[in-house]
Structure 1
Amino acid sequence: MHEVAEDVFCVEGTAVNWVLLRDGTELTLIDAGWSGDTSRVEASIRALGCHPRDVQAILLTHAHLDHMGAINHFREKYGTEVFMSTADATHARSGDLEQAHPTDIIKRCIRPRGIRWTARIIRAGALKPITIPHASSYPHTGPLDLPGTPVPIACSGHTSGHSAFHLPDKRVLITGDALVTGHSLSPITGPQLLPPFFAHHPDEAHTALNILADIDADWIIPGHGSPWHGTPTAAVELARHNAAVTDTL
């Protein structure tokens, strides 16, 4: 667990991150790992001296299995609500997720890097379908009345309703999978886009970088890879440069 800014924590699960925002004894959880990461999500909350029932809501950057894993557990055990964009809430409720096709994954399993990653995510729940019947859209635009006061930022491309979250007071931008700093399939580290086969609309994923570049922040917390110290403008410039590598993966 890395405290990126005061009361803003990035936690690494199985090749994926989630974020905890703390305000006193209350928390907001952003993303929730794979289903196999559920106990680790709870452990990260307890490591802050909190209880899982202290999570006031879960925010989802996008409806993919590696970010949805613990959500139903928190709903069933603690009654925790989950909010996301309207488009991704629709997919989360139906289970019709805008994810990479299995054949895209299989093609990459022949590479050593791909074999290791695939084995890890299968153990973490990659073959376990998830629906979130209680998925709700954000109750309003602008800052949410939750610990950390996160501001959803629409940046579709990776999915039709992908969101980032801005924490203006903390000068932190949580980018989900719209901008990452590493991935098990990538040979490079630093700001980058995920390989195009992960994106529902790859061209829009490139365009979404324009939205992120304009946000005022000093830290980026991605859905994959380590937190990155620098402005979104600089991160986007590097991601565009690195696209020469990531677009071929």
Structure 2
Amino acid sequence: MKIEQIKIDFNVTPEIKRFVYVYLFGTADACYLVDSGVAGCEAEIESRMARLGFASENLKGIFLTHAHPDHIGTANYFRTKYGCKVYASEGEKRWIENIDVQFAERPIPNFYKLAGASTPVDVVVGDGDKIDLCDGNVLNVVATPGHSADEVSYVLNDCAFIGDAIPVKGDIPILVNVPDTRATLERIAALDCDTFYPAWDHTYDAREMQVKVAEAEALLNAIESAVKQSKAFAVSAAVKQSAVPSANLESASLSESSDLAAIVDEVCARLSAPMLKMNPLFKTTVKAFL
């Protein structure tokens, strides 16, 4: 079975350039996408399909790892034009089917240009599900939350499509739940797969995947340490300024102790990574550690 990696470039802001990888696999008679890139890249995907001998009208399904704009942007286009089914988890469905809700709860610059249109989810998938493909292969669903509330990965034979499940050393770590992210790292490390297909990088073999997991664990530990130190610093400063009794330090809420932006600044300084502040979603990551 042919698997093709398609790189989609986009801008969150004029200053923040990003990219995402979409995966195309299958045969000329029945093909599938894992994630769909940002709105506006439809022609790019169709052109790649044609060059590789995949007939667009034989696109049977889009397997969404999660609901973020760079993963759902063309799903409605392909579903409407070719009648393919859209697969996603229950926890991501609400944001996929109503992008206005997603924007209200997770506003980012350029959101609507990237996210495209709300898309009906035809098949809800969950951990352990097995999806029969048209060629006789079976796609297995693996829960890998943390980056997003209910992200899933898809395993095809000895290949794993892992979306944004792994925080990346040297990039902006974006996550909403720290325990879930740590559990996901363990789960991906335990997968019996030869090749891993991330949304952020070239494909990894099993050995390199173990290295990426170890780097992600180290990154989480570094952020956690910086956040704890920064929160303690912020609470201590608040005590001095507002006379909060020292006995109440542990119970002091974030709103009572400091502004989140100040903690983000301190975390970035402790990590020697001021560029993290460029992406507004890093605040979400810091908040997850709090």
TM-score, structure 2 length as denominator? Answer: 0.64
Q: How does 1:107-186 map to 2 (within 5 A)?
A: 122=110, 125-126=113-114, 130-138=117-125, 141-146=128-133, 148-168=137-157, 171-179=158-166
> Tell me, which stretches of 5 or more residues in structure 2 are unaligned?
10-18, 225-267, 269-275, 277-290
Q: Partner of 1:89 in structure 2? A: 93
Q: Partner of 1:37 in structure 2? A: 41
Which amino acid is the alignment partner of residue 25 of structure 1?
D
CA change 1:139–1:158 in 2 (3 A) is closer
Q: Is 225-234 or 159-168 further displaced after alignment?
A: 225-234
Shift of 1:54: 1.1
Q: How does 1:2-21 map to 2 (within 5 A)?
A: 6-14=1-9, 15-21=19-25
What is the distance in 2 between the residues matched to 1:237 and 1:187?
Answer: 14
Once the two structures are superposed, what CA deviation does each residue of 1:206-239 show, in whole Å capped at 9, x if it has no partner?
3311111110112211111221223444431232
Q: Give the conservation status (yes or no) of the 8 Å contact 1:220–1:227.
A: yes
Q: Is 61-70 or 47-56 further displaced after alignment?
A: 47-56
CA change 1:221–1:101 in 2 (3 A) is same
Which amino acid is the alignment partner of residue 33 of structure 2?
L
Once the two structures are superposed, what CA deviation does each residue of 1:39-62 show, in whole Å capped at 9, x if it has no partner?
111112112112211111110000
Q: Partner of 1:66 in structure 2? A: 70
Once the two structures are superposed, what CA deviation does each residue of 1:55-106 show, in whole Å capped at 9, x if it has no partner?
111100001110111111112111111011111112211223387543xx7x
Q: Partner of 1:225 in structure 2? A: 201
- CA-based RMSD of the aligned residues comes to 2.9
TM-score, structure 1 length as denominator? Answer: 0.74
Once the two structures are superposed, what CA deviation does each residue of 1:121-148 show, in whole Å capped at 9, x if it has no partner?
x59933x563213453039943311255
Which amino acid is the alignment partner of residue 145 of structure 1?
D
Q: How does 1:100-111 map to 2 (within 5 A)?
A: 101-102=107-108
Larger RCO: 1 or 2 (CA < 8 Å, sep 6+): 1
Q: Give the conservation status (yes or no) of the 8 Å contact 1:164–1:176.
A: yes
Structure ID, larger Rg: 2
Q: Give the conservation status (yes or no) of the 8 Å contact 2:140–2:154.
A: yes
Which amino acid is the alignment partner of residue 30 of structure 2?
E
Secondary structure of the corresponding residue to residue 158 of structure 1: coil
Q: Partner of 2:281 in structure 1? A: none
Confirm or deny that 1:214 pairs with 2:206: no
> Tell me, which stretches of 5 or more residues in structure 1 are unaligned?
1-5, 106-121, 189-193
What is the distance in 1 between the residues matched to 2:222 and 2:178?
Answer: 15
Q: Give the conservation status (yes or no) of the 8 Å contact 1:29–1:58.
A: yes
Q: Give the conservation status (yes or no) of the 8 Å contact 2:89–2:126.
A: no
Q: Give the conservation status (yes or no) of the 8 Å contact 1:9–1:20.
A: yes
Q: Partner of 1:111 in structure 2? A: none
Q: Give the conservation status (yes or no) of the 8 Å contact 1:8–1:19.
A: yes
Secondary structure of the corresponding residue to residue 186 of structure 2: helix
Which amino acid is the alignment partner of residue 76 of structure 2?
N
CA change 1:21–1:124 in 2 (3 A) is farther
CA change 1:152–1:139 in 2 (3 A) is closer
- Percent identity of equivalent pairs: 21
Q: Partner of 2:54 in structure 1? A: 50
Once the two structures are superposed, what CA deviation does each residue of 1:136-187 show, in whole Å capped at 9, x if it has no partner?
303994331125532111111111210011122xx22111000266xxxx74
